Amino acid sequence: MKKYINTLKGIALLLLLSAPVLAQRSGFSLHLGAYDFYGPQTGKYFRSEVYKRTYNTNKFGIENGGFDTVLTKNYKWNPLAKASMWWEINDVVDLNMGLSFASLEYPTDRPDNVYINKQLNNISGTKKEKILLEYDAHINFNLVPKNQFIFSPYLFTGITASYHDVFFGANLPIGVGANIRLGKSNDLFLNVESAYKIAATDNDQNHLQHTIGFVYFYKKGYKEPVKEVVPTLPVVVAPIEQPRILDADKDGVNDDVDQCPTIAGLAKYNGCPDTDNDGIADNKDTCPLVAGLAAFNGCPDTDGDGISDNTDACPYVAGIAQRNGCPIPDTDGDGFNDEQDKCPSVFSKVNNGCPEIKKEIIERVNKAAKSIYFETGKSVLKPVSYKDLDALVTILNSDATLRVDIGGHTDNAGSEEINVKLSHDRAKAVNDYLISKGIAHERLTYQGYGSSKPVNKNETAAEKAQNRRTELNLRNY
């Protein structure tokens, strides 16, 4: 165990020294929380259960010699405060190191019966609370990138050095945490953590540490080169000397042609620097601290959607210009985006994002359509049609999402103007019948097509009879 502790100490020291160099961003945090020594000592992690006996009394207040057993439940947590420094290495790994402070009585054995008795009975004057300091070095493994998701859980481990009264100790923390992004910025997070700390030395005891607080991340700053004050010197004009040309920033580019005369730069950029080394001088670079593309005035396009990060509301997810660089949402996650999905809140991979209508229901409706008959040359339904239309009413009543498009068709006999009107009136007659049976008109449409949509060549009497038809098309959007 001692060898393992020394190894972890070495790793923690290495992380401490290398983290500021490797980090993409740095941050700091403040937390409040609590220690739980009582839970690991007793196995009762969130509250204690204490039974007390009291005398019974009758209705006159006289004790009758009996006892009542009273159950009390109390939390046995000790408050703490914590401050930490954070380093964001990449989307997966974060490092943090923090100092926790609390005042409490420390158990001396596993389990410490004296400690438990004091906690349960709260014996006045017997508790000896001392300052507890713990210095943590953690490595966090994010389960999802915190810069792309509002809620980012992570697992962590590391090593802790502790001091209580006159004792030094060490323990091994293992825990879970989560960063919850606040607002559109990727800088401020609400952080919660819970760790089980396993004692690694004789002076330390197993315990829990729970915290909640805020983490603020900040990028590495850009420091403008110090401007050198050049004193004004008198120019001595001599017949054999040329006037002196000044180079205030000492970059080898004379001030008269230097576009950045007070900041040292490069000749190829007319005396201006290129801080992010993207080939675009800082005076023309909209994002001088981040390498980018000339097409975006020196700003990057991380998600490759053609919208530069500085104007992209969703810089890490490809989107469209109409949504400021964010993608069209797909609320139900079925592959149809909300602008195409006819049922955006219902998951379905077919039928334009709506639930698929059962085949047997479609067949029953098609059967009903083939049994609709009208009086010759009129739009009056024959009674023989009622049975199948009533069956259609039953289907529509059984599923409130279903809608029907009614189409009327004729053969090519007679004028098309008369055919269109007749087919329209017949489709309306079916529509009116369904409404009379209680179907809401919002669920129905009707239209007459005349002879414009034949199902055959429309030459023989049998073919003409097939074209004189009413179609019922089901949909649920």
Helix H, strand E, coil C: the string for 66-130 is EEEEEEEEECCCEEEEEEEEEEECCCCEEEEEEEEEEEECCCCCCCCHHHHHHHHHCCCCCCCCE
Of 19-23, 29-33, 202-206, 391-395, which gets the smallest average pLDDT? Answer: 19-23
73 vs 287, higher pLDDT: 287
Helix (H, G, I), strand (E, B) or coil at 339: coil
Query: 102-140 pLDDT, tens per residue?
Result: 998 888 887 787 787 777 766 545 667 889 999 999 999
Q: Which of 46-50, 80-84, 330-334 has the highest mean pLDDT?
A: 80-84
The answer to whether residue 176 scores a pLDDT higher than 70 is: yes
Question: In angstroms, rounded to a whole number, what is the distance separating the alpha carbons of residues 472 and 393?
Answer: 12
DSSP strand pairing (63-74 vs 48-57): antiparallel
Using pLDDT thresholds of 50, 70 and 90, give the confidence band for residue 359.
very high
Instruction: Check if the beta carbon of residue 313 is closer than 8 Å to that of residue 325.
Output: yes
More confident residue, 61 or 162: 162
pLDDT at position 125, please? Answer: 52
458 in the Ramachandran plot: left (φ > 0), alpha (ψ -120 to 50) or beta? left
Distance (Å, whole) CA 367 – CA 405? 15
Residue 71 above 60 pLDDT?
no
Q: Write down the residue that tokens 């049922």 correspond to.
A: 343
Name the band, by pLDDT with cuts 50, 70 and 90, for residue 243: low
Q: Record the tokens describing residue 374, joined without a space.
A: 């009208």
Greater confidence (98 vs 183) lies with 98
Q: Is the pLDDT of residue 55 over 60?
A: no
Question: Over the chain, what is the mean pLDDT?
Answer: 85
For the residues 275-289, what does the mean pLDDT come to? Answer: 90
pLDDT of residue 133: 93
Residue ranges and CATH numbers for the domains of the chain are 2-219 (2.40.160.20), 235-273 (no CATH), 359-475 (3.30.1330.60)
| CA proximity to 443, closest of 408, 469, 407, 474 | 474
Q: What pLDDT does 445 receive?
A: 97
Residues in the chain: 477
At residue 420 the predicted structure's pLDDT band, cuts being 50, 70 and 90, is very high
Mean pLDDT across 59-88: 70
Query: Tell me, what's the pLDDT at 31?
Result: 96
Banded model confidence at residue 6, pLDDT cuts 50, 70, 90:
low
pLDDT bucket at 222, cuts 50 / 70 / 90:
very low
Say what the pLDDT of residue 265 is. Answer: 86
In degrees, rounded to 5, the angle at the alpha carbon of residue 75 between the alpha carbons of residues 70 and 77 is: 155
**According to the model, what pLDDT value does residue 386 have?**
96
Q: Do the Cβ atoms of 147 and 24 come closer than 8 Å?
A: no
The model's pLDDT over 298-356, given as tens digits with 9 standing for 90+, comes to 999 999 989 999 998 999 888 888 888 888 888 888 888 888 888 887 888 888 888 88
Q: What percent of the chain has pLDDT over 70?
A: 83
Closest C-alpha to 249, from 232, 269, 274, 266: 266
